[in-house]
Amino acid sequence: MAVFLTVEDSLQLAGGIFNIMREEGFDFSFDPMACENCDGYCCTGESGYTWVTMEEVSKIADFMGQDIDRFVGLYLVRIVSRFCLKEVKIEGSFHCLFFDEKNRRCSIYDVRPTQCRTFPFWEYFRDNPDEILKECPGACSILDKRE
């Protein structure tokens, strides 16, 4: 028996197979496979804040086999009552301290903070989708598919 799929069905099927991510309220989808060929847009560039909770700090320190106090001193910046990951400046660009420059990958990927896990579905990009569509090779507009 022949099975015919609509364009919408095909897209959903492809999304399932290739793990393409969508979030309610966002005008773009995200293909995590694109990270394989990306130079680390989300981990480098303009200076910013990668916030971490103490629970995340504990997991990362554990992953690295580090004592928490030592980890906090070496890798975190305290801003009022919160912590964020330190950055390094390389040729005018700010890089997360955990960005592996040689392999162009996150060196703590399995225990990366929630902020990194939820990229690019951030409120800022929801309101500025053009920015993420221009910068992130994994982001793809879904506006044309809604019309």
Residues that bind ligand SF4 (CB under 6 A): 42-43, 50, 85, 96, 98-99, 106, 108, 112-113, 116
Closer to ligand SF4 at the Cβ: 14 or 54? Answer: 54
**Per-residue b or e along 100-135, where b marks 16 or more CB atoms closer than 10 Å to that residue's CB:** eeeeebbbbeebbbebbeebbbeeebbeebeebbee
Note whether 139 and 25 are within 8 A (CB): no
d(CA 15, CA 22): 9
Comparison of 20 and 85: residue with beta carbon closer to ligand SF4: 85
Closest approach, Cβ 8 to ligand SF4, in A, equals: 32
Q: Which helix (H) or strand (E) holds 76?
A: strand 76-79
Instruction: Name the minimum Å distance from CB 19 to ligand SF4.
Output: 17
> In the complex, what is the shortest distance from the CB of residue 139 to ligand SF4, in angstroms, rounded to a whole number?
16
Nearest approach in angstroms of CB 4 to ligand SF4 is: 41
